[in-house]
Structure 1
Amino acid sequence: MMAGQENGVDARGTAGASRAGTERIRDEIAAQAHNASVRAQARRTQRLVEEDNRFGYDRHATNRALRIANGVAIIILGFAAGRLLQALPERNTADVQEVISGLDRLIGLMTKDLVELPHLQRHPESFIVEIVAILVGYTLLKRTHEDTLEYATAFNRIEQFYTAAQRRQGWLRCAALVMLGTAVILITHGSLLACGYAISDDIAAGIAQTSIAMGVWCYVFGGLYATRTDLFLYNFRALRNVNVYELGKSETDERREMRLGEKKLCDLSSSLTGFAVAIGVLGALGMYFLPGFRSPYFWLPLVATAVVALMLRWLVIRVARRRYEPDFD
């Protein structure tokens, strides 16, 4: 009888071990199937982004660089045009004030009444041109940002497909554009210093700001065009739009921890950048609209915070690259 009980215990133990082994095999098969599915999806995505069509990454990145450069240049050109208009006689009519009131209401709606235009302007017509340019440039930049988020959501991981020659060519074009922009600014300002006494201060300032707009366009487009080939940077930025839980589910087992670590650093970089931009925008608005702080150098807070944000972002990205994907390229 005892022998029968022992045989029953052994049989149950053997059956339990067999079930555990079967479940373990099933789990391994499921994990392998999941990893294979993720890899297949990644290959399909990679084929899409490498093609030269509306889904292709290179076309998207080039258009993004062009739109951002255009948006920034339009804003600066608006101030240049406003300064040129100040050389004309002021016409502070009821119609002009009605337009300003309409713009004030529009900006109030866009900013949740955080920004209110001053009621008295030194030259209302130039003021209108400046505000319209800001709105047009802001709209273009906002739409570009939304399109970038949509693309990054659809393609949140792209493997390197640019050759070393293509990456080098992008940086050479960037260097050429930087030199061109610098030459335009220096030549224009040098000419104004040499011959500016023959024209009014407003016209000279308008011409100088126009040259700055052209130079900034070259800087922005050149920089973004060159960095478009840095696909690690693209992947790092794209992590902002990825749900951390979705990321854990959609990655292969061997890549999951790496991507989650990159996600944490990406969130840190986004927070630092957002904080710096908010400080810069508030400072610029204060120096432009507040009577006690109004200054022609209202753009300095934007430049200063942009430099700080770029430095912090560069440090975080450098840490992420070294720690998680040192051999990406």
Structure 2
Amino acid sequence: MSDPHPFAGRIWAELLLLACLWGGSFLAIRLALNEVPFATSVAHRVFWAALILWAYVWWRGLPVPKDPQVWGALLVMGLLNNAIPFSLMAWGQLYIPTGLTSVFNAGTAIFGVVVAALLLRDERLTLRKAAGALIGFFGVATAIGLDSVRHIDITSLAQLAVIGGTISYAFASVWARVHLSGLTPQVAAAGMLTGSSLIMVPAALILDGPPTFALAATTFAAIGYYVVFATAGAYLLYYRLIAAAGAANTMIVTLLIPPVSILLGAIVLHETLSPNVYAGLALLALGLIILDGRLLRRQSFVSGRSS
């Protein structure tokens, strides 16, 4: 069976670029957190990225929704896909390595399959999907480590917070499919970030007080990176890839992000990860490959032709 979206060199290049953009965001967020509280960090990310995407929408002349129900759905989407996961992961990164955060983030697709099967009638949990999800869960558990299970401390809570963020992403995916399918992706992203800004800007003011702009150049660069490149730019590139290669093919980026983040964390922050994290990542990758299913179908097809 041929792939309806064969990978050209340009698509691979854009996938690698997206992985670098999102993989680098974990480092940028951690650098910003040295001076900026986590809620304010998230508020910067969603507010400025929303402005950039609205400028893009205006430039392209894309239709903007007027129905209050649509804006209500975008507000919920901003909560599930930005405010909750960005906040949980930013707080978690204060206590665990950036590379480990990215490994947990790779579990988003695993939780997404389970949540979709529970909430959507047309998403059955087949034997293949169940096997992939189970292996992926073992990968997350392996990356957490037995010590974290036996001893609940701030590190354990930080790991659970990041995992909670990935679960929120899974619910966001279902919400978008049910309530936002009629919007163009760029408008949905801009509206979603606007909704999360309406949540995070007041939250940051309450929790952290007025933001200060007397920051080091490194902090400004980190904020600028994850606003312009890892959020606004990455969303535009992500939807471009979905249109060119399909959603299933674009999921490959999930496996490419952790190596980028782990490498950057090691080079810039001198982070070291325990062997169980790499074992967990390998199990997560295996689970995602089984969930995707195409590699297994190709192997079966090749075996059938050779026999």
Taking structure 1 as the reference length, the TM-score comes to: 0.29
Taking structure 2 as the reference length, the TM-score comes to: 0.31
Larger C-alpha radius of gyration, 1 or 2?
1
